[in-house]
Structures are given as structure tokens and as C-alpha cells.
Copies of this chain bind each other. A is one copy, B any other.
């Protein structure tokens, strides 16, 4: 960052794009918006927008998230994912996009969308062999976000971000099963989750909403990191760019 000569450098626009994940009807879903203008008019894209002069990147992500979903940051886990800046990723001009990953519980209203014309929760499984691709390089960003989420619930307590404020051990286990696409022994999971200190905080209440014997209700505990982690079988490598934390 030496001599800055504006004539040598083109105008660069900086945007934030959001990979907002939730679990609906036992499926992992991502929030997509339909583009109203060119380029990629009519195609689905990740929600996002330009950063504003006075806001930090995290603030821009929180603002966009609120505009698209009506959610405030305390209800949702948000972390920076990665930044994408290939020269021609947007045909109009040079756009560098800072992507964020957000994990939300199943939302009462699908999306309020004070802003976006058409926003929708889309099961990620339905995007795999799809004809209609996502706009820009959003498919790449989405895949990076998915891998980050899959890897991060191993060693952090983030899986609880997919659950509502009070949840049962079985509901938490369903999160792992859906995000990882595997089945987990309910009894061993129960033992491990309840014995990991700081992971689950008992409320003293019970529920029978899942049928059968009443289950204890828990809140998210204070622990950020799980040690030992909850490891998934070593079939797919966890390969992304997030270290634990952020």
C-alpha cells in the first residue's frame, strides 16, 4: 500500500453476500432471492448488497440479513466466510464480494422481505443437479458455505444455532443428521451432548412435542468450542477455510 494513484486503479465495488442456512421440514435450506434485473435476470442468487460508507463489513452483513429476513443478529449466528474477487465475476464492473455465513433456526415467517421482491428458502439438495444455475459465482460461494457449516458444527456448539431457543437433545441430533447426511446413534449422542460441559444448559422444563417419553428442554450453553469434538465419520474431508471460531 504505497503510492496510491487512482488513475491506475479502476473503480471497485464491494458487496456482501449472504449464505443463510436453516433447517425446514428435515431439510437443509438456503435463502435465495430472484434477480429482477440484468445480469442474470430471473435467476436465483444469494441475497446481498453494496457496503455503505460508514459501516464495517460485519455491519453491512447484519443490515442485509435484517433487510432480507427481518432477523436481528442476536437471533442468528453470522460469521465471515470468504471473499471473492475474480475480475469478471460481475459483467458490469469489478465487484469484490465479501461472503458471510449465517445459521438460523427455522423461521416462523419464511422471510419478511421488506426489500427483495422474491425471496425463498430452497433445499440445498434440490440445487445439486439443477438446470437453472445460481447467478454470478454464487454456486461456488454456497458450496464453500455449506462445507464451512458442516465442518464447524464438529468442534463448536454452532449446531444449536439451527434450533429454536429451547430444544431437546433429539432435535439437536436431527441437526447433525441433516447437515451431515448420516444417522447417529441416539443414545450415544445423548450421552455425549449432555456430558460436554457448556454445550447444553438445562431449563428444567420438558416437552412431549416429539412423542414418547417427555424430553428435557435445553438452551444453548456458553461453550463456543467443544472438546472433545463431535466427529463425523471420515468419509468426506472437511475442507474449507474456517478455523474454529470467528
Contact = CB atoms under 8 A, between A and B. Distances in A.
Contact of A243 (B15, B55, B240): B240
Interface in A104-124: none
A4 B98 CA distance: 17
A93 B1 CA distance: 12
Contacts of A11: 6, 11
Contact of A1 (B2, B52, B80, B90): B90
Interface in A8-27: 9-15, 17
A185 interface: no
A95 B1 contact: yes
A241 B239 contact: no
A84 B83 CA distance: 10
A45 to B, nearest CB: 8
Interface string A124-166: 0000000000000000000000011001100100000000000
A241 B155 CA distance: 12
Contact of A234 (B151, B224, B227, B240): B227
Interface string A208-246: 000000000000000011010000001001111111111
A42 interface: no
A241 to B, nearest CB: 4
A204 interface: no
A94 interface: yes
Determine which residue in A1, A87, A227 has the highest number of CB atoms from chain B within 10 A of its CB, and name it. A1
Given A1-B90, A152-B243, A243-B151, A9 B238 contact: no
Contacts of A241: 79-80, 241-243, 245-246
A127 to B, nearest CB: 20
Contacts of A87: 53-56
Contacts of A86: 56-57
B246 A50 contact: no
Given A57-B86, A83-B98, A148-B243, 4 more contacts: A1-B17, A54-B87, A56-B86, A79-B241
5 contacts: A9-B13, A54-B87, A80-B82, A238-B243, A239-B243
